[in-house]
Amino acid sequence: MAGIYIHIPFCKQQCTYCDFHFSTTFEVYRKEMIDAICLELKTRKKYLQGKEVNTIYFGGGTPSILLESELTLILDTIFSTFSVNLTAEISLEANPDDINSSSLNMWKQHGINRLSIGLQSFKQSDLDWMNRAHNVADSSSCVSLAQAHGFENITVDLMYGLPDLSMDEWSLHVNRVMEMGVPHLSAYCLTVEEKTTLSNWVRKGKINTSTEDTQSDQFVKLLECIEKYGYEQYEISNFSKPGFESKHNSNYWKGEWYLGVGPSAHSFNGASRSWAIANNRGYIKALKNNSTYIETEQLSAVDQFNERILIGLRTSYGVNLDDLSNLNEITEAFNVTVNGFKEKHWVKDSGGTLTLTKEGKLRADYIASALFLD
Residues making contact with ligand SF4 (CB under 6 A): 11, 14-15, 18, 20, 22, 60-62, 95
- Least distance in angstroms from the C-beta of 197 to ligand SF4: 10
Instruction: CB nearer to ligand SF4: give 20 or 372.
Output: 20
Instruction: CB nearer to ligand SF4: give 14 or 215.
Output: 14
Q: What is the DSSP letter of 31?
A: H
What letter represents residue 290's amino acid? N
Alpha carbon distance 310, 305 (integer Å): 9
- Least distance in angstroms from the C-beta of 15 to ligand SF4: 3
Q: Are 221 and 170 in contact (CB under 8 A)?
A: yes
Instruction: CB nearer to ligand SF4: give 24 or 49.
Output: 24
Instruction: CB nearer to ligand SF4: give 20 or 275.
Output: 20
Considering Cα of 163, then 178, then 186, then 224, what sign does the dihedral take?
positive
Instruction: CB nearer to ligand SF4: give 137 or 301.
Output: 137
- Least distance in angstroms from the C-beta of 91 to ligand SF4: 15
- Least distance in angstroms from the C-beta of 64 to ligand SF4: 9
Q: Closest Cα partner for 122 from 141, 146, 99?
A: 141
- Least distance in angstroms from the C-beta of 121 to ligand SF4: 12
Side by side, the strands of the sheet bearing 347-350 are 319-320, 353-356, 347-350
Residues 6+ apart with CB under 8 A from 241: 183, 184, 230, 231, 232
Separation of CA 256 from chain center: 15
β 257-261/2-8 pair status: parallel
Instruction: CB nearer to ligand SF4: give 38 or 133.
Output: 133
Instruction: CB nearer to ligand SF4: give 61 or 318.
Output: 61
Q: Are 120 and 132 in contact (CB under 8 A)?
A: yes
Residues 6+ apart with CB under 8 A from 290: none
* Euclidean distance between the first and the last CA atom of the chain, given in angstroms as a whole number: 31
- Least distance in angstroms from the C-beta of 258 to ligand SF4: 19
- Least distance in angstroms from the C-beta of 17 to ligand SF4: 7
